[in-house]
A and B are shown apart, each in its own frame.
Chain A
């Protein structure tokens, strides 16, 4: 039975990992690694503890209905100390996996290739490429596209002009809140050209569900051409 549980767990783990891309940005690769470690550890804990629960429930069924007490065992100090220390070691390990990955994701380069100011508002987004004098204005009915260069670091400076929103690109495994009065800065380095979905992930009112955008990553030369075309218009 434990074998069957373990197989099911492995299938779930594979499905989980498949749902999460790992090659879209440099930072996503770090975060994907953390996801993978935690999914494996989580499934292992589930199989172990879940197995113990099911095993005890089934193996220790009462056979004689007149039994009123099986035994009076109510403590085992070495065992209890053991199962206090073991989880501490496990979570310490999980923290050691988490901390460097988070530092790496939060780290920002001093001279990004591109700086885009993102302003969230009810209910769409505005992308301002300050250096190139390009503005992409979205509306709720017509979601905007954030065009980024491949293999160059883009710094995003994110804010809101009304309520709190959240800038989420699921394929990049990253989101950050857009808060009025605060500029949240972060950067990422896309590694793969393509078109990726973007959504608002913080309730902001009636059309929160429609506040989407797309991210289009272009190779550097195509990006340059796009910038020229937009700034000429």
Chain B
């Protein structure tokens, strides 16, 4: 079992234990719910990691790098993209608009959707 899986399993176990201890001591609903919720979130991650464990081998987990890895393509990274800053402006205008100026939110949402479409096109 990989270390990452063990990290998430211990965090989930801790969450369960604390949620139970908290409920037993205080009988307070909100805090118990929040603590239990984070245990549940970890449970999803643990389930995913356990379900893929036979299918994934990471280069980084090799103690000694095998020779056949030399010279292979490391990664494909996007060097630059205009969409992050544009998307951030749209998101900011959307949130400000929702609270203070509904028309701003509407325009920002439209622009946001256009940018998302461009991002998807850039990725495929």
A–B touch (CB < 8 A): the answer is no
